[in-house]
Structure 1
Amino acid sequence: MPNHGSYTTSLRIMETSDVHGQLLSYDYFSEQNKPGLGLAATALLIAEARKEAPLNLLIENGDLLQGSALADWAVAEFPVAQATHPIIAVLNQLKYDVANLGNHEFNFGLDFLAHSYRDAEFPIVSSNLQLLEQAPSALAAQLTPIAWFDYSVTPPSSAPVPLKVAVIGVVPPQIMQWDQHHLEHKVQVDDMLSSARDAARQARHQGADVVILAAHTGMPKHTANPEDAEQTGWLLAGIKDIDALLLGHQHEVFPGTNVYDLLPEVNSNLGTIRGIPAVQPGIYGSHLGIIDLQLTYDFADKKWQVSDFQTSVRAVNDSMHEAPVIKQQIDPAHKATLDFMQQPIGQTLVPLSYKTARVQPSSAVQFVQRAQAWQAQQLLTAHGLADLPLLSAAAPFDAAFAANDRATTIAAGPITRGAIGDLYRYPNTLDVVKVNGAQLKAWLEHSAEGLLSAATVAGKQSEQCWSLINEDFPHYNFDMILGVDYNIDVRQPVGDRIVNLTYRAQPVAADDEFYVATNNYRATGGGDFPSLDGQNIVARGADMLSDVLLGYIGSLPENSYQEQIEEHWQVIGIGCGGRI
């Protein structure tokens, strides 16, 4: 007998995003295990989640092929044109259903992209990417604006009922700036919002019962303004034809973060954006995003509808092991990467050290600053921005609090990829901000809070220097800004310590304007620096800064760094002069 009521089932949507080639729980730069990360560990979460919900979809949301030592090895040495990319082989093993593209998929050109996904046993979705005539023909066969999944659901005492699910995906159009040299005249990338709206509408017209949007984008942080050309997640959630939203790109964990709480209609506890269920699963396989859609079928109308939902993110625990089958599969690539990391990529004629960076200019910090300025100048030129002085702000990551403390140091001589990773350990990218002289001084004043008052220290000269360090102030917030000269007078109260601030021997006026190259963490409010909240960013890089350092070395004559320390700032008001 036909069923004249309704039937309810559940569809589980699982998401990974921003894996950045991190397959194992291992740090190739420090040569140590790094629990809590890696797709081989995420695989255990995937297997568990699948067992709980037989009707499921596993979706990869971009930035898969770049960002780890193993990914770099694959670009440089793996014969991707002839053999299956090791990262794609893992996704095949884990039986992914569909993958969206992220901005970093385009870093190595369209041929590499086509070769990498050639053997993928799942469709590649991209709803706002249009291939032009000069694009590789193989890529056209791999991409689809809508990925379709047809299921047969059998309610009790009823014939099977079809369930048609559509997955659409978008990538930031800014890839046309970030990878212009790879993409110009080969692809066109349309606006994410209009493209997703059109694709969702088309999916409904073609009979989709459920529409899932995999969007390689996040949302504006620490602001009530949802408008952003790159981070369009809030706007995408307003598309009436979508049922679930998968986010990425920003490396946040949602639900669970408070960085979006100022935006209207965002519930970071329930995981909803404008009433739509949404997840974002962090970085490096640290989390698995899950959306459970409760679907109710009305036998009279012969239609499915979403009647309820639940969102969650499951973390890879530090004690969690890696899936043995994945670990074994990756082992050849892992061993090859270990050898690859020992290869020299250049040399430095001066030792690079963070050790004394909390009390005087640092060779390692200046190496980072010069690399940032090198890429920032390219970005400013590409954007056609006004010709203003370009400065560069960076902080030490592993400095010392005392004379006997260890810190990151690279001896003069060959530089390996592993050494570069040790020098810059965070997955930051480059931003360029525009500030005036008053804001520049306020930036430095905040950094100067990393030093104690002269009145609090006593003893010998070198001991006084070390004793000045405020150990409650993180190393990574002690910014130094290369391109200007200044003194930090620790006799003065907090907020009035920056004196003799000059640019090219001329005092910096309050209304002078500068560009400052910095990392995206700082530019978007990290560290609570005044006037740095993401509103004054004028250009953004797509590459992680560890890759920028590699590129900078490669740009130097004979791949050789030989800049001496520029003594552009010093602490005054206490016997702390000279190198220690």
Structure 2
Amino acid sequence: MPKQGSHTTTLRIMETSDVHGQLLSYDYFAQAEQPGMGLLATAELIQQARAEQPLHVLIENGDLIQGSALTDWAVAEFPITSSTHPVIRLLNALQYDVANLGNHEFNFGLDYLAHTYRDAEFPVISSNLNLLQNAPDELHQRLRKIGWVKREVTTDAGQSIPLEIAVIGVLPPQIMQWDQQHLEHQVTVNDMLTSAQAAALQAREQGADVVVLAAHTGMPKDTANPENKEQTGWLLAGISDIDAILLGHQHEIFPGTEVYDLLPEVDSSKGTVRGVPAVQPGVYGSHLGLIDLQLTYDFAEQRWQVSDFVVESRPVTEQGATNPRLLELVADAHQATLQFVEQPVGQTAQPLSYKTARWRPSSAVQFVQRAQAWQAEQLIKANDLPSLPLLSAAAPFDAAYAAEESATHIAAGEITRGAIGDLYRYPNTLDVVKVNGAQLRAWLERSAESFTSVANLDEGDPSCWELIDRDVPHYNFDTILGVSYAIDVRKAVGQRIVELSYAGQVVSDDQEFYVATNNYRANGGGNFPHLDGQTVVARGADMLADVLLGYIGSLPERRYTKDLEQHWKVIGIGCGGRI
């Protein structure tokens, strides 16, 4: 090997993140092809990207095994203790090098997580997750703080230079709140920044030439303030020992979005955060994240350095998946899922729709609220809690922002398992919180922030759709069944809830209530005031989709017949009569 000179090569880092079990370009709820999504479609990009750059590494960045009808089927019916999970089977076939865990990996408990990744042919990592002694043995055996990828680079002269790539991973510590019932006394989670700093330093000390941070987190949106306990990507970019950051969790596309532009030192065209190359590949396999690091090896110093980089978030094509070998790998799971979602579970006397749930009462939301209240009553009795009025809070998951958009709609008649999955797409469980009237009002005021100020609208009588703040996701618009109230959009944020009453009487600040809600909301999800886990008085163990199944099974002839309650309204304008 020469004593001086250098050699330059390109290392391609490929990322998938937030696939959420979406393997095919298919919507099981709509029962239709859905181009532009699915890991099998992303696989076409992976094959293309590998052909373009022979020196490469493929990394999965979390939220992989939850979020689709296929993964719902896997949880309910797949023999996970004895067979390889279809998602892992596909990742093995695609020859992933490392997989970082995301927050949704924990939704089904640590035993399910351990069984799922048991057959993974790649390291599974999390640098800020600590397993306690009573965590599953398989998880102790499988989980690593650092994932190592070893490569050999051959020069034109035929010389071989080793390249040691260390992949470190972090996930939101909030999993200890969101999935407390699964994680308490089995794991602890450190903050992302401190853990990533320590892991990166350790990787360098152990000889890493390149350190890649797979961070299942994003960055604060539409703000210049980079401080955020859940979205710490900007802070992580300040770690001196890392060469590239893979982001996720927020389902954004970076480079290619403007939501981070107010943050200092973020270049949304070049794909850098504080000078570090960074990428985020959207959701459901819609994009493949690519970071090409130009590496130069100094023969005199015998070390690699990053000399340049290019970042791209490459979208899948509408052609979708074409690889017959990969299609065959998931064919059985696909057919089983089709049968799974068609299983009848009951009847509804009225349509259940989320379409207009962002600005008027929704039959679908109220179905969920009544199911939650049904289980909450059992939990209150089982926990021998004193009698208080019981309310129920829920948000729409697949509503619309405009009249021309589609949304979840279940026609009157038969309800299938697929319809239940469409109504409740998240693996939340039920919590019962105890709040007073002032806290209840603050909860509703937070939801009322979902409406645009009338002062920001055009003159005249606008459409109700124009009131919706599109920056607020549907799942953060809670309505609460059991009380009546109005949202006055003419008023300032924080002063919009008026006419709040229970059983015909004005709600006082010290009046106490139980509220049935999901564990995500009860434990801090969405940053609603007074909902930080401290007000929880009872917890359910079943996923809310199963609660909905139990509720409809409890009804006479499994038939839902409740009428829509017009218990809240938007006031201040007439909505132009255009709905």
* Fold in common (TM above 0.5): yes
Any conservation in 2 of the 1:21–1:67 contact (CA below 8 Å)?
Answer: yes
Read off the aligned partner of 2:451 and give its amino acid letter: H
CA distance in 2 between counterparts of 1:26 and 1:437 reads 40
| Structure 1 segment 294-305 matched on structure 2, within 5 A | 294-305=294-305
Q: Counterpart of 2:81?
A: 81
1:482 to 476, 480, 483: 480
Any conservation in 1 of the 2:40–2:326 contact (CA below 8 Å)?
Answer: yes
Q: Counterpart of 1:446?
A: 451
Q: Counterpart of 2:420?
A: 420
CA distance in 2 between counterparts of 1:250 and 1:143 reads 24
Query: Compared with structure 1, are the counterparts of its residues 336 and 407 closer, same or farther at alpha carbon in structure 2 (3 Å cutoff)?
Result: closer
Partner deviation per Cα, 1:369-417 (whole Å, 9 max, x = no partner): 5568899999xxxxxxxx9997746468269969xx9986535565322
Query: Is 1:221 aligned with 2:216?
Result: no
Query: Compared with structure 1, are the counterparts of its residues 95 and 406 closer, same or farther at alpha carbon in structure 2 (3 Å cutoff)?
Result: closer
CA distance in 2 between counterparts of 1:374 and 1:295 reads 60
1:550 to 536, 541, 545: 545
Read off the aligned partner of 1:176 and give its amino acid letter: M
Q: Counterpart of 1:568?
A: 567
CA distance in 2 between counterparts of 1:152 and 1:196 reads 26
Partner deviation per Cα, 1:56-77 (whole Å, 9 max, x = no partner): 0000011111111111111111
Read off the aligned partner of 1:310 and give its amino acid letter: V
Q: Counterpart of 1:335?
A: 335
Q: How far off is 1:342 after superposition?
A: 1.1
Partner deviation per Cα, 1:288-325 (whole Å, 9 max, x = no partner): 00111111111111111111111110001224444332
Q: Counterpart of 1:101?
A: 101
Any conservation in 2 of the 1:88–1:116 contact (CA below 8 Å)?
Answer: yes
CA distance in 2 between counterparts of 1:375 and 1:232 reads 36
Any conservation in 1 of the 2:444–2:478 contact (CA below 8 Å)?
Answer: no
| Structure 1 segment 149-548 matched on structure 2, within 5 A | 149-157=149-157, 159-345=159-345, 348=348, 351-353=351-353, 361-369=361-369, 392=393, 394=395, 397=399, 409-411=409-411, 414-423=414-423, 440=445, 443=448, 446=451, 470=464, 481-483=479-481, 484-486=483-485, 501-504=499-502, 505-507=504-506, 538-539=531-532
Q: How far off is 1:481 after superposition?
A: 3.5
Read off the aligned partner of 2:448 and give its amino acid letter: W
Query: Is 1:41 aligned with 2:41?
Result: yes
Read off the aligned partner of 1:482 and give its amino acid letter: I
Q: Counterpart of 2:110?
A: 110
CA distance in 1 between counterparts of 2:247 and 2:75 reads 26
Read off the aligned partner of 2:51 and give its amino acid letter: K
Any conservation in 2 of the 1:398–1:475 contact (CA below 8 Å)?
Answer: no
Q: How far off is 1:516 after superposition?
A: 11
SS at match of 2:451: helix
Q: Counterpart of 2:147?
A: 147
Any conservation in 2 of the 1:394–1:518 contact (CA below 8 Å)?
Answer: no
Any conservation in 2 of the 1:216–1:247 contact (CA below 8 Å)?
Answer: yes
- The alignment's TM-score, normalised by the length of structure 2, stands at 0.79
CA distance in 1 between counterparts of 2:260 and 2:373 reads 30
CA distance in 2 between counterparts of 1:110 and 1:158 reads 47
CA distance in 2 between counterparts of 1:301 and 1:155 reads 17
CA distance in 1 between counterparts of 2:46 and 2:505 reads 60
Read off the aligned partner of 1:170 and give its amino acid letter: V
Any conservation in 1 of the 2:427–2:543 contact (CA below 8 Å)?
Answer: no
Q: Counterpart of 1:382?
A: none
Query: Compared with structure 1, are the counterparts of its residues 537 and 30 closer, same or farther at alpha carbon in structure 2 (3 Å cutoff)?
Result: farther
Q: Counterpart of 2:384?
A: none
Query: Compared with structure 1, are the counterparts of its residues 392 and 535 closer, same or farther at alpha carbon in structure 2 (3 Å cutoff)?
Result: closer
CA distance in 2 between counterparts of 1:571 and 1:112 reads 44
CA distance in 1 between counterparts of 2:87 and 2:127 reads 23
SS at match of 1:18: coil
Q: How far off is 1:8 after superposition?
A: 1.1
**Higher deviation after alignment, 166-175 or 281-290:** 166-175
CA distance in 2 between counterparts of 1:519 and 1:306 reads 44
Query: Compared with structure 1, are the counterparts of its residues 390 and 132 closer, same or farther at alpha carbon in structure 2 (3 Å cutoff)?
Result: same
Cα-Cα RMSD: 4.6
Q: Among the aligned pairs, what percent are the same residue? A: 59
CA distance in 1 between counterparts of 2:207 and 2:150 reads 11
Any conservation in 2 of the 1:437–1:511 contact (CA below 8 Å)?
Answer: no
Read off the aligned partner of 2:445 and give its amino acid letter: L
Query: Compared with structure 1, are the counterparts of its residues 500 and 152 closer, same or farther at alpha carbon in structure 2 (3 Å cutoff)?
Result: closer
Any conservation in 1 of the 2:352–2:412 contact (CA below 8 Å)?
Answer: yes
Query: Compared with structure 1, are the counterparts of its residues 299 and 344 closer, same or farther at alpha carbon in structure 2 (3 Å cutoff)?
Result: same
Any conservation in 2 of the 1:420–1:549 contact (CA below 8 Å)?
Answer: no
SS at match of 1:397: coil
Any conservation in 2 of the 1:255–1:311 contact (CA below 8 Å)?
Answer: yes
Q: Counterpart of 1:527?
A: none
CA distance in 1 between counterparts of 2:141 and 2:55 reads 28
**Higher deviation after alignment, 20-29 or 406-415:** 406-415
Q: How far off is 1:517 after superposition?
A: 7.0
Q: How far off is 1:550 after superposition?
A: 1.2
Query: Compared with structure 1, are the counterparts of its residues 355 and 276 closer, same or farther at alpha carbon in structure 2 (3 Å cutoff)?
Result: closer
Q: How far off is 1:134 after superposition?
A: 1.1
Structure 2 gap ranges (5+): 380-387, 534-541
Q: How far off is 1:482 after superposition?
A: 3.2
Query: Compared with structure 1, are the counterparts of its residues 19 and 320 closer, same or farther at alpha carbon in structure 2 (3 Å cutoff)?
Result: same
| Structure 1 segment 24-35 matched on structure 2, within 5 A | 24-35=24-35
Q: Counterpart of 1:462?
A: none
Partner deviation per Cα, 1:438-472 (whole Å, 9 max, x = no partner): 983992893797xx99x97xxxxxxxxxxx95565
Read off the aligned partner of 1:168 and give its amino acid letter: I
Any conservation in 2 of the 1:437–1:509 contact (CA below 8 Å)?
Answer: no
Query: Compared with structure 1, are the counterparts of its residues 400 and 105 closer, same or farther at alpha carbon in structure 2 (3 Å cutoff)?
Result: closer
Query: Compared with structure 1, are the counterparts of its residues 33 and 444 closer, same or farther at alpha carbon in structure 2 (3 Å cutoff)?
Result: same
SS at match of 1:556: helix
CA distance in 1 between counterparts of 2:403 and 2:268 reads 37
Query: Compared with structure 1, are the counterparts of its residues 205 and 437 closer, same or farther at alpha carbon in structure 2 (3 Å cutoff)?
Result: closer
| Structure 1 segment 43-62 matched on structure 2, within 5 A | 43-62=43-62
Q: How far off is 1:110 after superposition?
A: 1.7
SS at match of 2:21: coil
The aligned length equals: 537
Query: Is 1:124 aligned with 2:129?
Result: no
Any conservation in 2 of the 1:292–1:309 contact (CA below 8 Å)?
Answer: yes
Any conservation in 2 of the 1:12–1:290 contact (CA below 8 Å)?
Answer: yes
SS at match of 2:105: helix
Read off the aligned partner of 1:485 and give its amino acid letter: S
Query: Compared with structure 1, are the counterparts of its residues 535 and 567 closer, same or farther at alpha carbon in structure 2 (3 Å cutoff)?
Result: closer
Q: How far off is 1:551 after superposition?
A: 3.9
Query: Compared with structure 1, are the counterparts of its residues 376 and 313 closer, same or farther at alpha carbon in structure 2 (3 Å cutoff)?
Result: farther
Query: Compared with structure 1, are the counterparts of its residues 297 and 364 closer, same or farther at alpha carbon in structure 2 (3 Å cutoff)?
Result: same
Q: How far off is 1:146 after superposition?
A: 1.2
**Higher deviation after alignment, 437-446 or 554-563:** 437-446
SS at match of 1:198: helix
